[in-house]
Amino acid sequence: MTTLAARQLRRVLVALDPAAQCRAALETAARLAAEREAELVGIFVEEADLLQAAALPVTQVIRDTDFMLDALDPSKMQQGLRAWAAQARAALDAVAARWHVQASFRVIRGSVGEALLAEADGYELIALGTVSRASQRRRFGGTARLIARAAPCAVLLMRGVQQPGEAVVVLYEGSEQALALGRELADLNGQPLSVLAPGEALAEAARAWLAERGPDAKVEVLAETAAAPLAARLGRAAAGIVVLERKGKLGGQIDVEAVLAGPASSIVLVG
Amino acid sequence: MTRQTKGGAPAQVAPKTAALPAAALCWRCTADQFTFESTEELEDLTEVIGQDRAVEAIRFAIGMARPGYNVYALGPAGTGKHTLVRQFLEEHAATAGPPDDWCYIGNFGDQRKPTALRLSAGRGAVFQADMESFVNEVRDALRSAFESDQYRTARQVIEEAFKERQEAAMGEVEKEAEAERIALLRTPVGFAFAPVSEGRVVAPEVFQQFPEAERQRIQQVIEGLQKKLQDVLRQTPVWMKETREKLRKLNNETATFAVGHLIAALRKRYEDLPAVLAYLDAVNEDVIDNVEAIVNAPERGAPGAAETSDGHPLFRRYRVNLIVDNQGQQHAPVIYEDDPNYDRLIGRVEHRAEMGALLTDFHLIRAGALHRANGGYLMLDALKLLTKPMAWDGLKRVLKAREIRIESAMQAMGLLSTVTLEPEPIPLDVKVVLVGERLLYYLLAELDPEFGRLFKVAADFDERIERNADNSLRMARLLATMARREKLRPFDGGGVARALEFSARQAGDSERLSTMLEELADLLREADYWAGVNGRARVGKDDVQQAVDAQVHRLDRVRERIQEEIRRGTIMIDSQGRTVGQVNGLSVMQLGGFAFGRPSRITARIRLGKGEVIDIEREVALGGPLHSKGVLILGGYLSAHYAHERPLSLSASLVFEQSYGGVDGDSASSAELYALLSAIAEVPIDQSFAVTGSVNQYGQVQAIGGVNEKIEGFFDLCAARGLTGSQGVLVPAANVKHLMLHRRVVEAAEAGQFHVYPVETIDQGIEILTGMPAGERDADGRFPEGTLNHRVESRLIDLADKRRAFGALQRGEGAP
């Protein structure tokens, strides 16, 4: 498994999707790549289910424009997916040009989560946007859960754009990678950094690490470590980005979707 | 060359009319007429000299607070109109308080029509500063409010409610679909339902293997789901609208709270001004309406901040354009607009270029002189006003309407269709004083029917006053005042006396003094200069004389050239000898501000004719109407005075020799008559004389203008050639009081070298010129033999007889 450590970010994969949340993930991934001089690879997945559905005789589409029914066929679906892919590429090119990042773009076909996992080897970070609309939760929510659970590298899930003043909160269970990435993300948007540690020893270690490398951060010891209230606590505290250690005792238990359902707009899983 | 006497020399007799004594040729003012040694002893003159009529008119107009009682101060330039009018206006303005301030503020309902706002003097600037502070604070106040946790939470609650509502509705459909093993899919063109199996959409070939009943069931289920989803989606815009309304309400409440204390503080400061309170309410409402734009407006200087030099357009609309600021003013304004063009008078709306387009807003409204003078007095130069396009019409429009409506000249002419501002008119209460020449006043009164209604008061300035001891002393005090004000050396009695003589000469009348104060002031300054050059502590009569002479010398190049050419014989003027039908006339040339006399030879030739006197000047269109009138009078005089029982049977021609420019005025008509009589009688005229004066049909010699310059013109010629002692000038007796001749003429007269004869009738004049008695009709109605009139009449009778004989010959009747 590839680990993300300072100066070791070489390739970043970003899942491209027409949703606005994808733009936030793309922007953050590009800025991280620019900071570390890493390569950015954008992947657009032509979802196989959509092509299958278009070929079914019972499937019609409710048009976005007027909510009227329209016939659907594979060629029309293919055209639509190509249009999405073109938009995704344009967005990638624009962001890469803005941050002077070396970027490439690929289109693959399959189930989004599985296709991304299949591509994930060789990357230090996968970034993707996630949405909260019920209608899309099945597709992307499932994807986010799958990636969060099974990705062989760090994962950045973004639900929205970071706002100034929102904190980056690291749930520190001993991973320097979590602290490093938290600090990096806080720097990107000038956000305050906050560290929660389950125990005084870890809190002290975090303070020492931060004292050496900066910046000033608030380090607190967690009193409550049960998964559900901890998820709620993170949501309340963060209102921004939460960094979890996937293999940590606490981080591994936390329901990502439960955190994202709160005020926090993004989550990072490391380790 | 001169034409010599025909018919023998007439008997020479001494003329009945005596030359004027030297003392009559000029009023001499001497230091001993004054009781002071120098102007240092004299008090300042505070009253106005000789302008009682004008002063009364101005006082009346100032006191007459009715529309249309504006003033036209008329009179020649240099009479001190401007100074006097301004002095009176300022005196009166000092008794009144300063007028109100005026601002233009944004009209949020119709930005094309900015609102005019009136505040008491000094409060305009305060209000402007208050609104500037408001603008500086409002964005921060709103941002603080909109970035607060309370606002974010409230907003999130609303947005989440919408999302939850939408998600709940869609989730219901989705849940129903899941129960039927149907998936809701987001496709590039919209939503679609498809049957699923094990989390994947059923492949088409698998679906085809489903039993027909199952396929139909799935289709029916999907159709039902589609209908439900359509209903949900159609509801979404309604929910969005409701959400927007809620957000707007939240924004309004937040903004009201944030801005409320700012507005409340302002309202308290201006609670006595309903118009300001109404404006503040409008501002409050506008801020709330535009709260999102204000909060999201880029910081000054940030990229994308489309700012003008005065700040972001969103905030400019709340700033105040103070166009009339009377802060610090103690009195009503007295404004003199030196360049009264349309815009400077009425005000204007400026534009700024932005991306190739011309844009404007109410901050670019600029006040005109009328705004600044509102509540006080406005002085304008009439000629400047009338020569500026549209300015006169603009002024009249404003005075008639009694309000200042700012619109461009093009708008006023109806030639502009571009959308621009229409600022609310401002009520006008101003007294306008036009200062200008009399001619302009009379032309306006004649040609512009509105003039009389808008300028009901004429303040007529006189250019001269009676010379008496009282006025002479007041002039001396005025002179002392001017000298002190201008920091000149004091004038001694002789200097003052000489200056008063100058004043009388400027008036062209020994019994009057000129009120052309500008010329007098110039003389004082120049005399002071010469006193300095001469190393004197006080300005004396010699310094004043030097100033006068220097003024003349600077301007008399043309006069010198003409005199020179006469002496060289290029221009033929005799100053001695006797010639028939020829007389020296005198004309005045005015070049700029300098006038001088020029002798001209006038000749007359006669022959048998039909009784016409031909004015050659008129024939060639060089004679003006007054000159022609004078010549025609001669015919009347001849017909009535001589042989009135016979037809006038001569044809006479009269000409100004070597005159190549126009001739006008009738001052040479007596000279022309003398030449004519000489030609008819064939009696020579003494060329030692020059003549001026007009004549009527009864042979009476009438007054003319420029008598001093004319006499000096002939004197200078004679003096240059050498005075013979017999030379002189015949002037109308009515002009004697106007004599203010130069010292050199007076001194020659005192020495008997030059003479000025006052003449009342042609008979008196012809006797002097010919040395022959004129003669009066005796009891038989005949002129005595040996008189000039007898010779004239005899010649006319002879001509009449010849004409009759000639006529008979033509008709074939033979010799009579």
B338-387, pLDDT tens digit by residue? 999 999 999 999 888 877 888 888 999 999 999 999 999 999 999 999 99
Distance CA B381, CA B391 (A): 12
The percentage of residues in chain B with a pLDDT greater than 90, rounded to a whole number, is 54
Comparing C-alpha atoms, which of B474, B70, B188 is closest to residue A82?
B188
- Taking only the tens place, the pLDDT of each residue in B201-259 is 899 899 999 999 999 999 999 999 999 999 998 888 899 999 999 988 898 888 888 88
Q: Looking at the DSSP assignment, which residues form a beta bridge with residue B730?
A: B691, B757
User: What is the reported pLDDT for A136?
Assistant: 41
Q: What is the pLDDT confidence band of residue B14, given thresholds at 50, 70 and 90?
A: low
| CA pair distance B523, B757, nearest whole angstrom | 32
Q: Categorize the per-residue pLDDT at B314 as very low, low, confident or very high, splitting at 50, 70 and 90.
A: confident
For residue B597, report the phi and psi dihedrals to the nearest 5 degrees: -90, 145
Buried b (16+ CB within 10 A) or exposed e, B406-425: bbbbebbeeeeeeebbbbbe
Largest CA distance in chain B: 164
The DSSP letter of residue A159 is S
More confident position, B690 or B656: B690
Report whether B201 contacts A53 (CB < 8 A).
yes
φ/ψ of B766, rounded to 5, equals -65, -30
Residue B475 near residue B701, CB atoms below 8 Å: no
Partner-chain contact A61 B191, CB within 8 Å? yes
B3 pLDDT above the threshold of 50: no
Residue A200, judged by CB atoms within 10 A of its CB (0-12, 13-18, 19+), counts as exposed
Contact at 8 Å (CB) between B710 and B586?
yes
Bridge-based pairing state of the strands A11-16 and A125-129: parallel
H-helix or E-strand containing A141?
Answer: none
Q: Are strands B71-74 and A218-221 parallel, antiparallel or unpaired?
A: unpaired
A49 and B207 within 8 Å at the Cβ level: the answer is no
CB B708 within 8 A of CB B731: no
Residues of B in contact with A54 (CB under 8 A): 187, 192
Choose among B171, B189, B218: nearest Cβ to A61: B189
**In this structure, what is the dihedral angle of CA atoms B216, B218, B219, B222, given to the nearest 10 degrees?**
160
Query: What's the average model confidence in pLDDT over A20-26?
Result: 75
Look over chain A and give the mean of its residue pLDDT values, rounded to a whole number.
Answer: 81
- pLDDT on residue A6: 45
Minimum-distance CB partner of B204 among A56, A70, A80: A56
| Gap between the terminal Cα atoms of chain B | 41
Please give the Cα distance from B745 to B26 (Å, whole number): 9
Q: Dihedral of CA B548/B550/B551/B557: which sign?
A: positive
pLDDT of residue A19: 66
Cis amide prior to B784 (ω within 30 degrees): no
Asked if B183 lies within 8 A of A49 by C-beta distance, the reply is yes
Give the residue carrying structure tokens 């033999």. Answer: B785
Is A63 near chain B, with CB under 8 Å?
yes
B508-551 pLDDT tens trace: 899 999 988 888 999 999 999 999 999 999 999 999 999 999 99
The 10 Å Cβ neighbour count of residue A132 is 17
Question: Tokens 């609670």 correspond to what residue?
Answer: B271
- Determine contact: A66 vs chain B, CB below 8 A: no
- Amino acid B653 reads S
Rounded to the nearest angstrom, the gap between the alpha carbon of residue A41 and the centroid of all alpha carbons in its chain is 14
Supply the residues of B annotated as catalytic: 667, 710
pLDDT at residue B105, as a whole number = 94
What distance in Å separates the CA atoms of residue B634 and residue B555, rounded to the nearest whole number? 36
Q: 3-state DSSP call for residue B536?
A: coil
Please report the pLDDT score of residue B686 as a whole number: 95
Backbone torsions φ then ψ of B611, nearest 5 degrees: 85, 35
Give the rounded percent of residues in chain A with a pLDDT score beyond 70. 85
Per residue in B449-503, pLDDT (tens digit) is 999 999 999 999 988 899 988 899 999 999 999 999 999 999 999 999 999 999 9
Tokens for B574? 């005799």
What are residue A82's phi and psi, to 5 degrees? -65, -40
Which two structure tokens, joined as six digits, stand for B617?
């000047």
Residues in contact with B184: Cβ distance below 8 Å, sequence separation at least 6, in sequence order:
A135, A138, B170, B173, B174, B177, B191, B192, B193, B225, B229
Query: To the nearest whole percent, how much of chain B has pLDDT over 70?
Result: 95
How far are the Cα atoms of A84, A158, B541 from residue A140, in angstroms, in the given order? 16, 12, 113
Mean pLDDT to the nearest integer, B150-171: 85
Q: How confident is the model at residue B667 (pLDDT cuts 50, 70, 90)?
A: confident
Asked if the C-beta of B222 comes within 8 angstroms of chain A's C-beta atoms, the answer is: yes
State phi, psi for A143 to the nearest 5 degrees. -60, -50
Query: Tokens representing B6?
Result: 């025909």
Across the A/B interface, how many CB contacts are shorter than 8 Å? 115
Contact between A58 and B222 using a beta-carbon 8 Å cutoff: yes
Contact A58 B202 (CB under 8 A): no
Residues in B closer than 8 angstroms to A139, CB to CB, are: 185-186
What does the pLDDT read at residue A160? 67
The answer to whether B632 contacts chain A (CB < 8 Å) is: no
Q: Which residues contact B384 (CB under 8 A, 6 or more apart)?
A: B338, B339, B340
Residue indicated by tokens 């880029």: B298
Q: End-to-end CA distance of chain A, in Å?
A: 9
B233/A62 Cβ within 8 A:
yes
| DSSP code string of B581-616 | TEEEEEEEEEETTEEEEEEEEEEEEEEE-SSEEEEH
Helices (H), B270-390: 274-289, 291-296, 313-316, 342-346, 369-373, 382-387
Angle CA(B766)–CA(B770)–CA(B772) in degrees, nearest 5? 85
Nearest CB among A55, A138, A263 relative to B183 is that of A138
DSSP letter (8 states) at residue B802: H
Q: How far apart are CA B75 and CA B53, in angstroms?
A: 12
Q: pLDDT, tens digit, for every residue of B555-609?
A: 888 888 988 998 888 989 999 999 999 999 998 988 877 889 999 999 999 888 8
Give the mutation candidate from B146, B164, B185, B235 for the A interface (greatest A CB count, under 10 A).
Answer: B185
Token pair of B506 as six digits: 């400027």
Write down the ipTM of this complex. 0.82
Rounded to the nearest angstrom, the gap between the alpha carbon of residue B63 and the centroid of all alpha carbons in its chain is: 25
| One-letter-per-residue 3-state SS of B248-289 | HHHHHHHHHHHHHHHHHHHHHHCCCCHHHHHHHHHHHHHHHH
Helix axes A176-189, A200-213, angle to 10 degrees: 50
pLDDT tens, residue by residue, B738-774: 999 999 999 999 999 999 999 999 999 999 999 999 9
Confidence band, pLDDT 50/70/90 cuts, at residue B17: confident
User: What is the average pLDDT value for chain B, to the nearest integer?
Assistant: 88
Alpha carbons A32 and A74: distance in angstroms, whole number: 38
The verdict on a CB contact (< 8 Å) between A83 and B188 is yes
Instruction: Give the CA-trace dihedral at B111, B113, B118, B123, to 10 degrees.
Output: 30
CA B109 from centre of chain: 41
Beta strands in B309-456 (DSSP E): 321-324, 334-337, 348-349, 352-354, 357-359, 365-366, 377-381, 403-404, 426-427, 431-436
- With residue B51 as reference, give the H or E element that holds it: none
Token duo for residue B34: 């004054």
Separation between Cα atoms, residue B725 and residue B572, nearest integer Å:
21
CA–CA separation, B125 and B103 (whole Å): 9
Q: Hey, what are A256's tokens?
A: 């990502």
Per-residue pLDDT at B272: 93
Taking only the tens place, the pLDDT of each residue in B73-84 is 998 888 888 888
Would you state the pLDDT for residue B189?
Answer: 84
Distance from B146 to chain A by nearest Cα, in Å?
14
Distances (CA, A) of B4 to B579, B684, B774: 5, 7, 21
Give how far A60 is from chain B: nearest CA, Å: 6
pLDDT at B15 over 70: no
Contact A135 B186 (CB under 8 A): yes
For B781, what's the count of Cα atoms within 13 Å in the CB-facing half-sphere?
Answer: 5
Q: Compute the radius of gyration of chain A from its Cα atoms.
A: 19
Whether chain A has a CB inside 8 Å of the CB on B234: the answer is: yes
pLDDT of B13 strictly over 60: no
Mean pLDDT of B661-667: 79
C-alpha B674/C-alpha B770 separation (Å) is: 9
Residue A158 has pLDDT above 90, yes or no: no
- Counting every residue, how long is chain A? 271
pLDDT in tens, B539-552: 999 999 999 999 98
Distance (Å, whole) CA B227 – CA B245: 28
Report the pLDDT value the prediction gives residue B657, as an integer from 0 to 100. 87
- For residue B408, which phi and psi values (nearest 5 degrees)? -70, 165
Task: Provide the pLDDT for residue A131.
Answer: 58
Q: Please tell me the distance from the alpha carbon of residue B394 to that of residue B342, in angstroms, as a whole number.
A: 7
**pLDDT above 80: residue B5:** no
The SS3 call for residue B311 is strand
